[in-house]
Chain A
Amino acid sequence: MSHDHPHRHPPQVDHPEPTSHYEWLGVALNDLLIETGLYTADELREKITEVEAVEPSTHGARVVARAWVDEDYRARLLTDANTAVEELGSDSAATDLTVLENTPRIHNVVVCTLCSCYPRTLLGRPPTWYKSGAYRSRLVREPRTVLSEFGTMLPDDVQVRVHDSTAELRYLVLPLRPYGTDGWTEERLAELVTRDSMIGVTTASTP
């Protein structure tokens, strides 16, 4: 078996390297900002860890499940979401959160047509499709068609309410509690609450 003589080591599978100029620009800027002392390499690592610790299942879904079982919490969540999510351990400092309640007659769905504003403190990083040109272009204009592409067919008497996050308010959809879940624990209910249902492109999962 012949051996190559590589000029360089192969890229680490879990740390793919920058390839384009702008990708290099990003890592070079980071390197320089650490060097100039704006922040440390440890702070960067901690920030990545902090960001990746926020998952829809542990943050947003718990808020929804609590609202499903506790009417008082639901009322607080709809009036002052920032305070209500703090009760369950989510950080509200960075955002001004509004929770949009789906009802049997109203289905809410969220987009940021101008960039990608997203309730990161509840849902983590947005999925690529949320940031895509296609979603940002089409959701405002043909929400029902886009929802159907996500497998969501709404009854004819349900009004669709699109929210374009153009300012510093962040929106989380409170999906309808599925039928057949009477007496379920919050933990079990939270498993039905998908990220996509909290964006509004789907409903919550059914048992």
Chain B
Amino acid sequence: MTAPEARENHPLPRFRVGDRVQIDARDEAQHHRVPAYAKGQIGTIAKVCGEHEEPERIAFGTQHALRRLYRVRLHQTDLWPGYDGLSADTLDIDIFDHWLRPA
């Protein structure tokens, strides 16, 4: 079957490198790719990536929706109490536009 590539968002990325963003903490029953440790976290945009299929929609192979992907940089000391590395240590995670809001 064919499905249109639905362009759900603005054609231009909402965020730029360096923007502070918060990852949504909402409950989501469907297949999605935001680990619990990342939900609710605040970080910065490290890279504006391409557009990819939204996992929630494509999980059954039938619904297509291209979404902008971002690499979000988090600080390890924000994520883990008692983190035992450098305060400069980071964790980059790839998060879709629809899970991000300005912080």
Chain A positions near chain B (C-beta within 8 angstroms): 96, 113-114, 140-145, 156, 159-169
Contact = CB atoms under 8 A, between A and B. Distances in A.
Nearest to B88: A159
* Central interface residue in A113, A144, A162, by most chain B CB within 10 Å: A162
Contact of A143 (B34, B49, B69, B89): B89
Given A143-B85, A145-B84, A162 B37 contact: no
Contacts of A162: 76, 89-92
The 7 A-B pairs at the shortest CB distance, nearest first, are namely: A167-B94, A159-B88, A162-B91, A166-B33, A164-B93, A160-B89, A166-B94
A124 B50 CA distance: 24
Contacts of A143: 76, 85, 89
B52 A163 contact: no
A129 to B, nearest CB: 20
B50 A144 contact: no
B35 A114 contact: yes
Interface in B1-56: 33-35, 37-38, 49-50, 52-53, 55
Nearest to A156: B86
A166 B93 contact: yes
Nearest to B93: A164
Given A142-B84, A144-B84, A166 B89 contact: no
